[in-house]
Amino acid sequence: MFPTSGQCLGIAAELRIADLLADGPRSAADLAAETGAHAHALQSTLQILTEDGIFEEVEPGVFANTSRSELLRPGVPNSQFVMSQFAASEWLWNCYAKTGYSVKTGKAAFEEAYGKTLWAYMGQNPDKGREFNMAMNEFSATLGPRIVSGYADFGKAGVVADLGGGTGTFLANILTAYPSVQRGVLADLPPVIEQAKARPELAELIEKGRLDFHAGDFFESVPAGVDLYVCKQITHSWNDEKLLSVLKRCRDASPTASIAAAELVLRPGVQKFVKYFDVMMLVTMAGFLRTEEQYAEVFKQAGYELRRVVPTETAFSIIEAVPVD
């Protein structure tokens, strides 16, 4: 097992190889001349990706797109253009290099490598923060509508708050799919909220008064007066103590509100990538995926009851919790 495929995929996306092959097969030498890459090195890279089923080598040194490499093009349906580069990020691979530290201590390898939390690093390095948010936007654009359509109860809430909702793609999916939702509140750190406010895709929702913002740290405050708190891909970022802290803030701020967490749930027979994702959460944030039983326990401690786990068309489920006395 070699750790090269992810890096090769990232550089292929960065060099826009799939775009350059849109009109048909081309040689590695030709592609290298156009991209400024080293011809032999690029050919070796594309051959690795061919072995992974990404590209096709139609004759020695000549490559063509496949249905999988088409996803490396920006703007196509289900594009993985940004995510492929994000997954090859230097900071992320520096974490993987210290996986042993996380395994031995249960702590984030990121903090061992950089001396600060991932979120502090993103805040101090705006370019990295933007890259992160772009990757999350791409994810939400690809899978978000299919997750949202799988949980009709989104439409039963008058006010929905998306905690850690990034620059708003997933919340916009909810507001668009369910016109019955009167208002959405996007909650994230101030720099992220500023990015969201500047997005032209959200302008109409803002103008119609259907999208508000809550800038702050949800370990300190969450929006009040809402009917449903949405947590998409954030509960896995924390250990039980931190997750419990956020859930209790939600319980205090909106005592009657429910929780809908869109997450990968650990269960027998889960896809291989789910297990990889679990380790990625460990090394980056000291977080982890949970089983249904583990979610039920932490919700119980915060004053909620796990009512059901709703599958969607994707690998993600909606974990629904309701307040109890």
Catalytic positions are 236
CA terminus-to-terminus distance, the chain: 51
Helix (H, G, I), strand (E, B), or coil: what is residue 15? coil
Query: Is there a contact between 110 and 121 (Cβ–Cβ < 8 Å)?
Result: yes
CA nearest to 173, candidates 133, 213, 143, 212: 143
Rounded distance between C-alpha atoms, residue 220 and residue 223, angstroms:
11
Kindly report the CA angle at 164 between 160 and 167, in degrees rounded to 5? 90
CA nearest to 203, candidates 214, 211, 215, 191: 211
- How many residues are present in the chain? 325
User: What residues form DSSP beta bridges with 259?
Assistant: 229, 321
